[in-house]
A and B are shown apart, each in its own frame.
Chain A
Amino acid sequence: METRSQIRARFFVRIWTAFVLVAIYLPILCGALAGLTKGRYFAFPVKMFSGEWWGKTLESFEIQTLVQNSLLIAFIVTLVSVFLAFFGALAFARYDWKGRRLYQKAILLPVFFPQPVLGLALLLWFNALGINPSWQTAVVAHLVWIVPVVTLVIAIQVYSFDPTLEEAARDLGASRWFILREVTLPILWPGIWSGALFAFLLSWGNFPLSLYTAGVDSTIPKWLYSKMVAGYTPMVPALGTMSTLSAAALLLTGGLIGILVRRRREQA
């Protein structure tokens, strides 16, 4: 039953949400505008658009290296973190074991931790171990933060998993590996898939950890930052927009694949 005040409240909530969403996407749009402006300096209203900075950015050898670094790190982080987080999530939500409560809280700590400080702490640790920071150490740093996040994402799916299914499968004579492949993985698949998307995208966009732990190797966010503080070049908004668009494209494709697979399963 709808009262007038409820209708008014809904109107207010909708307007407010729309306003906040506009504010969230406004700077991303500003970046896109600046990257497409012709000329060295940005001024609004834009007098003439051109793709020259996009072209220059795409041609730049330096930037190609950055993209390769960022992709490589994100791929490895995704693979490793999904593997670790899958078992981590089972321990989080599926099994009842003695240290579980403590473990659940311990796993949240890296998420609840200022990333710049975590990056610097890792830098110190690598130094103490005598390891030179490079893209490999950046992978480790990303994992420390992303594995807990992915664990939480998968754990939410695990909570809705009925453990008696595994018991039933065992009762029907299935081996541990067979149960994992035929029962557990297919049911947890949506959580794993979204966990993988999270892992890739969070690694792709991460700045504070890469800044301190990637050493001489640069990633896209790290390079953008160094150019931002050094002075304006339209390549910064151009590359920033490209990076944002690729993340959006990945999220969209990932989401669509998820929906298509689910639909096919439901129809089958």
Chain B
Amino acid sequence: MAVALDTSAAPPAKTAETMSISPGLRSASPVLILLGLGFLAPLITVAAYAFAAPKSFDVFRSFTLENFAAIFDPQNTVWTSFVWSLIFAFLTVVLLAVIAYPIAYGMNRMFGKWAGFVSVLFVFPLFVSENVRLYGWVLFFIKNGVLDGALKWLGFAGGPEVLYTPGAILFGMLYVYLPFMLFPMSLGIAMIPRDLVDAARDLGASRLMIWREVELPLAMPGILIGMLLTFVLGAGAVAESKILGGQSIITIAQDIEVAFTYAQNWPLGSALALILVAIVSGLALYVLSKLDLDRILGRR
């Protein structure tokens, strides 16, 4: 029955199929339109502004490299912001990898029926505005705050002055970006088939050897995504330095913001943003090109 129907309907259906677009592209098109208008177009605008005359709004009407010249001028100290942001992003990645790995491992292999609950506990802070959470740390570390007050109450001299230092900024970044390392990492560890670990142990491998030879390489795609995510987010961090850091250092995102707001120098801000985007997307595209997303998300 079905066969008969198919054969009779096949020729017209086939021509219709070749005429129209594939179901995949059709389903993707709304998202693609959104990304085109909401992501690509703004980036093109930024790129266009980056080549406009400084402190003007003459986008598409002037072309100059002055903004980039100003940034790369050794007289200008804006490069220190780049250096700070990239160093902090790098430190965030390294420290978070160390902090998150045991937790990600535990969620997959040790917590059993509690694993779901533990991951909800780690997801939830994502839904609380980062400034609210960072502000909580201000209340914790500030003079007469929770730490200082508690230590004084216990008879100590009071808490250390950590607030408004570069260390506080790094701490804030670790705090805010932990889930972005944890979940991809956990996804990566979930990709390690149990049998392979059992087999390696059966063949005499020690715990360390199993980790180095089997678990780490197989979890690497997930770990790489986590590292990439946290690096990118860290490079664009601004709230941490504003709230916890008291502007003890200026991050690049903050420079961009200042150029756009107080300085009203959109072309300079755009040029800065363009450089940051180039660094970030270059890295992102490089790492993403190495990964097979079907395997990571589909766990096949």
Query: A184-210 vs B: 1/0 string, CB under 8 Å?
Result: 000000000000000001101111100
Q: Check B16 for interface membership: any CB of A closer than 8 A.
A: no
CA distance A96 to B120 in the complex (A): 32
Shortest Cβ gap from A81 to chain B (Å): 9
- Rounded to whole angstroms, the CA-CA distance of A106 and B25 in the bound complex is 14
Query: What A residues does B102 contact at CB under 8 A?
Result: 12-13, 16-17
Which of A13, A115, A243 has the most chain B CB atoms closer than 10 A to its own CB? A13
Partner of B233, one of A43, A114, A120: A114
Interface: A10 (CB within 8 A): yes
Q: B94 on the interface (CB 8 Å rule)?
A: no
Q: Which residues of A contact B43 (CB under 8 A)?
A: 121
Within 8 A of A (CB), among B193-252: 207, 228-229, 232-233, 235-239, 242-243
- Residue from A27, A103, A237 whose CB has the most chain B CB atoms within 10 Å: A27
**B242 surroundings in chain A (CB, below 8 A):** 229
CA distance A220 to B132 in the complex (A): 10
From B107, which residue of chain A is reached at the shortest CB distance?
Answer: A17
Mark contacts of B15-29 with chain A using CB atoms, 8 A cut-off: 1 yes-contact digit, 0 otherwise.
000000011110110
Q: Which residue from chain B places its CB closest to the CB of A159 in the assembled complex?
A: B298
Instruction: Choose one: A26, A125, A236; the contact of B45 (CB below 8 Å).
Output: A125
Residues on A with C-beta less than 8 A from B145 are 30, 42, 44
| A72 proximal to B (CB < 8 A) | no
A144 in contact with B23 given A91-B28, A109-B284 (CB within 8 Å): no
Q: Is the CB of A105 within 8 A of B288?
A: yes
Complexed CA–CA distance, A127 and B128 (Å): 29
Q: Name the interface residues of B1-56: CB closer than 8 Å to any CB of A.
A: 2, 22-25, 27-28, 30-32, 34-35, 38-39, 41-43, 45-46, 49
Contact B39 A128 (CB under 8 A): no
B146 in contact with A112 (CB, 8 Å) = no
- State how many angstroms separate the Cβ of A88 from the closest Cβ of chain B: 4
From A27, A45, A95, A240, give the contact of B27 (CB < 8 A). Answer: A95
Residue from A124, A144, A204 whose CB has the most chain B CB atoms within 10 Å: A124
Among B124, B229, B269, the residue within 8 A (CB) of A120 is B269
User: Could you tell me the distance between the alpha carbons of A21 and B127 in the complex, rounded to whole angstroms?
Assistant: 15
A48-56, A59-67, A244-252, A260-268: which lies at the interface: A244-252
**Contact A155 B229, beta carbon cutoff 8 Å:** no
Return chain B residues, CB-CB under 8 Å to A91: 24-25, 27-28, 31
B124 surroundings in chain A (CB, below 8 A): 247-248, 251
Q: Is there an interface contact between A147 and B127, defined as CB atoms closer than 8 Å? A: no
Contact residues of A: prevailing secondary structure: helix
Contact of A247 among B127, B235, B253 (CB under 8 A): B127
Counting chain A CB atoms within 10 Å of each CB, which of B122, B125, B242 scores highest? Answer: B125
**Given A116-B236, A206-B129, A152 and B284 touching (CB < 8 A)?**
no
- Does A243 contact B128, Cβ atoms closer than 8 Å? yes
Contacts A106-B35, A113-B232, A122-B38 known; A228 to B136 CB distance under 8 Å?
no
Question: Is B66 an interface position by the 8 A CB rule?
Answer: no
Q: Give the distance in Å from the alpha carbon of A33 to the alpha carbon of B132 in the complex.
A: 13
Query: A128: shortest Cβ distance to chain B, in Å?
Result: 5
Interface residue B93 (Cβ < 8 Å from any Cβ of A) = no
B178 contacts which chain A residues (CB < 8 A)?
A: 20, 24
Distance (whole angstroms) from the CB of B203 to the closest CB of chain A: 16
A144 to B49, CA, bound (A): 21
A228 to B49, CA, bound (A): 32
Give B24's nearest chain A residue, CB to CB. A97
Q: Which residues of A contact B140 (CB under 8 A)?
A: 26-27, 30
CA gap between A227 and B128 in the complex, in Å: 17
Question: How close is A170's CB to chain B, nearest CB, in angstroms?
Answer: 9
B134, CB-defined interface residue at 8 Å? yes
Select one of B25, B153, B285, B297 contacting A97, CB under 8 A.
B25
Bound-state Cα–Cα, A207 to B281, Å: 22
Q: A205-B127, A251-B124 are in contact. Are A151 and B31 (CB under 8 A)?
A: yes
Binary contact track B281-300/A, C-beta < 8 Å → 1, others 0: 10011001100011001111
Query: CA separation between A214 and B137, bound complex, in Å?
Result: 27
- Give the distance in Å from the alpha carbon of A26 to the alpha carbon of B105 in the complex: 23
Instruction: Tell me whether A114 and B232 are in contact (CB under 8 A).
Output: yes
Is B243 a contact of A125 with CB atoms below 8 Å? Answer: no
Contact A24 B139 (CB under 8 A): no
Query: Closest 3 CB pairs between A and B?
Result: A114-B236, A27-B136, A97-B24
Give the interface of A toward B (CB within 8 A).
5, 9-10, 12-14, 16-17, 20-21, 23-31, 33-34, 42-45, 83-85, 87-88, 90-100, 103-118, 120-125, 128, 140-141, 143-144, 147-148, 151-152, 155-156, 159-160, 171, 201-202, 204-208, 212, 220-221, 224-225, 228-229, 236-237, 240, 243-244, 247-248, 251, 255
Q: List 27 A-B contacts (CB under 8 A).
A: A17-B118, A23-B175, A26-B137, A26-B140, A28-B132, A28-B136, A29-B136, A31-B135, A31-B139, A33-B139, A43-B144, A44-B150, A91-B24, A107-B31, A108-B293, A112-B280, A112-B288, A113-B236, A117-B277, A124-B42, A124-B46, A148-B31, A151-B31, A208-B238, A225-B131, A236-B135, A240-B132
